[in-house]
Structure 1
Amino acid sequence: MPTSIITTDDLREFKVELLEDMRKLLAQHKGSGLKRYLKSNEVMEFLKISPGTLQNLRINGTLPYSKVGGVIFYDAEDIQRVMEENRIYNRY
């Protein structure tokens, strides 16, 4: 089996190619950003809200949800829509 020597230039070139491949993969998944369905704890962490606030958003109908086997799920697109609909613009 022939021996090949790897130089620092080879390693640099490999690093650049690897980073470019990773950027392409991230760009493909960037549009999705989130999983399609999130559990309550994921929503609270994402929005930086308490369990009580999340419950209020459910009760008053602000945030739609689905309940499957006792687990509450939220559609990530619904969360984005609610955030956009409630955006406040400063006039300054």
Structure 2
Amino acid sequence: MLNEKIKRDQLLTIQDLADFGEELLIGIRKLISYHGKPNKQWIKSAEVKTMLCLSDGKLQYLRDKGIVPFTKLGGVTYYNLREIEDLMNSDKIHDHQTKSQTV
């Protein structure tokens, strides 16, 4: 119905308005769900450093210790976004930051 040419003397019914409102809400929900979720599974080091507030050296240290899981592909280091989010919610990063500051 949205693609039809609307004429000036055409009447709209309450049902037409209800249908339009429903279509509009469906479209808005799709936009919110699409933009609310990251559309990628793998991120690079720069994004991880920003997310975890780390320097290059600290990220390398955490990789070497096995704290931050990663995958290398063609010389580029990738991190699984879900694993990094889980790491952010755990105390592993905070424990290592406080230990390295006291040592």
TM-score (norm: length of structure 2): 0.55
Shift of 1:34: 6.0
Q: How does 1:61-72 map to 2 (within 5 A)?
A: 61-72=66-77
CA RMSD of aligned residues (A): 3.1
Between Structure 1 and Structure 2, whose CA radius of gyration is higher?
Answer: 2
Shift of 1:23: 5.7
Shift of 1:56: 1.2
1:14 alignment partner in structure 2: none
* Matches of 2:40 and 2:58, distance apart in 1: 22
Could you list the structure 1 runs, at least 4 aligned residues long, displaced by more than 3 angstroms after superposition: 20-24
Identity %: 36
CA contact (8 A) 2:52 2:88 kept: no
Alignment coverage as a number of residue pairs = 76
SS in structure 1 of the partner of residue 47 of structure 2: helix
1:81 to 82, 86, 90: 86
1:24 alignment partner in structure 2: 30
5+ residue gaps in structure 1? 1-16
Higher relative contact order (CA 8 A, sep 6+): 1
* Matches of 2:78 and 2:40, distance apart in 1: 11
